[in-house]
A and B are shown apart, each in its own frame.
Chain A
């Protein structure tokens, strides 16, 4: 099986829904070690994405077109650190999807592009209590799953599982990037909101792929 533009649209709609559902939880996580706006900012961004998607006269032709629309909308509506980071992630992911349909290798390329965007924009690496701590294990798991011959839905499920474990693993970390870093040792003991929202985004991708396969 392969994933096409209808999967990408379902992914984006699913992300908007799950982000809105988890808005208060993300706000609370961010309140503990940041300034409490992460859930609000992402909800505002993905609401705008859905509005722009709905307003299109013709649906986007390819996966990359959907991701590009997400990227530009997030960059122009989210602000904060999340806007440029997610915006760049979707932009690089769009660039990495050359074909109209994605096979398992295509899904891996998409995820690698997203991770690269976050790393480049945020100048961050693993262990700093950021989104990278969810995306990096997700990409590693996706590579392994694709090598093992899993289909795109299986690759995304593996990535989402790894992202959730990655978000969990940020709890004991001391932040050295982003606003939580100002708390120093006091940032330990809290789950990073960016890693958590990243896990939600990847879970939405896996759900949409499972639906597309079913």
Chain B
């Protein structure tokens, strides 16, 4: 294992501290317990948005703290959800009297810890609504699993709900918009290599040079199946088709297409995937109205990518276009 770290035990704290100093105009870092807030604190009258989860997915979530997106982010240890006594103060810090929306990815640990934190915040008299992102179509039969995982679609949920909060929507409306995004967003990912969690010291799974893992989540866990390595076009089809089918995309639909890198894949390859995914959508008569390509929800240094499609309506498109100013997303 070769990594630019000092100590596996302190890598998250050191990373978040560095992030805070690099973006001191946008964020403030609270170290005990560890969480990140918008600089200047909660915006009076605005619904607060909080998200969080294990570290190792940067820029998710702290990279999306700022105007038009999150008010607070809670980083846990690498690939491990934060604890309720981290999350509850972050919820309190994001509250400006209008209530708080917690955006949680559907992983058992995240759901349990956010659930407990929301109960603690509720006991303090705060109004908290929670939405659970579950966009990963690789999880086929949710009857026999913990349900679909929340992966790169989280960026769209945070961006669009953040814009709704920024324009002054109330808590129920912001939650409704978030739920609408969740209902219309699907993703699927592939790994060409595993990643190495610092404290584990070895790759999270063993993958031969000529094989890939299809249907991965974002925690270095193996995917749903392993297939021989093949061309970018074929891999893109393996990701896009299940996403488009699950969404029931029809000719005339307008979508946002997000090609997300897992951390170790160059932008040039992500654009190859994007080009193919876009052609596949166009062949279905679907119009790609908005696009985003880059590393947004990563798994440490894993090579691979995920394809996310969000079916847009006019309001969702307008909220996506609304100004945003964070470390990782701004327009």
Chain A residues within 8 Å of B, Cβ to Cβ: 27, 31, 33-37, 40-41, 44, 75-85, 121-122, 174-179, 181-184, 186
Residue contact B109 to A80, C-beta cutoff 8 Å: yes
B204 located at the interface, meaning its Cβ lies under 8 Å from any Cβ of chain A in the complex: yes
Cβ of B311 within 8 Å of any chain A Cβ, yes or no, is no
Partner of A186, one of B76, B144, B146, B222: B222
Contacts of A177 in B (CB 8 A): 108, 146
Q: What's the Cα separation between A37 and B222 when bound, in Å?
A: 15
Q: Is B159 part of the binding interface, using a Cβ–Cβ cutoff of 8 Å?
A: no
Complex contact A184–B145 (CB within 8 A): yes
B83 to chain A: which residues have CB within 8 Å?
Answer: 75-79, 83
Closest CB of chain A to B119's CB: distance in Å?
11
Query: Are B112 and A84 interface neighbours, CB within 8 A?
Result: yes
Q: Is the CB of A81 within 8 A of B219?
A: no
Q: Which residues of A contact B225 (CB under 8 A)?
A: 186
Across the interface, do B145 and A182 meet the contact criterion of CB distance under 8 Å? yes
Give the chain B neighbours of A80 by CB distance below 8 A: 54, 76, 80-81, 109, 113
Q: Is B68 on the interface with A (CB-CB < 8 A)?
A: no
For residue A101, give the distance in angstroms from its CB to the closest CB of chain B.
32
Chain A CB within 8 A of B162 CB: no
Separation of A178 and B144 alpha carbons in the complex (Å): 11
Secondary structure dominating the interface of A? helix
Instruction: Name B108's contact: one of A40, A44, A76, A179 (CB within 8 Å).
Output: A179
Residue numbers in A under 8 Å from B221 (CB-CB):
33-35, 179, 182-183
When A41-B80, A178-B146 are in contact, do A122 and B85 touch as well, CB less than 8 Å? no
Asked if A182 and B139 make an inter-chain contact with CB atoms under 8 angstroms apart, the answer reads: yes
Q: B205 to nearest A CB, angstroms?
A: 7
CB distance from B198 to the nearest CB of A (A): 10
The reply to whether B149 and A182 form a contact with Cβ atoms under 8 Å apart is yes
Knowing that A81-B109, A177-B108, A186-B222 are A-B contacts, what are 19 other residue pairs whose CB atoms are under 8 Å apart, sorted by A's residue number? A31-B200, A31-B205, A34-B221, A37-B77, A37-B78, A75-B85, A76-B85, A78-B83, A79-B76, A79-B80, A79-B81, A80-B54, A80-B80, A83-B81, A84-B116, A178-B108, A179-B108, A179-B109, A186-B225
Q: Min CB distance, B211 to chain A, in Å? A: 14
**A79-B82, A182-B139, A182-B146 known; A37 vs B200 contact (CB < 8 Å):** yes
The CA-CA distance from A31 to B204 in the complex, in Å, is 6
User: A179 — which chain B residues lie within 8 A by C-beta?
Assistant: 107-109, 146, 217, 219, 221
Q: Is B224 an interface residue (CB 8 A)?
A: yes
From residue 259 to 299 of chain B, which have CB atoms closer than 8 A to chain A?
none
Distance in Å: Cβ of A187 to nearest Cβ of chain B: 9
Whether A35 contacts B224 in the complex (CB less than 8 A), given A81-B108, A179-B146, comes out as no
Q: Is B84 at the interface (CB under 8 A from chain A)?
A: yes
Given contacts A75-B83, A84-B113, A41 and B220 within 8 Å (CB-CB): no
Check B145–A75 contact: CB distance below 8 A.
no
Closest to A183 in B: B222
A35 touches B220 (CB 8 A): yes
Determine which residue in B144, B204, B221, B225 has the highest number of CB atoms from chain A within 10 A of its CB, and name it: B221
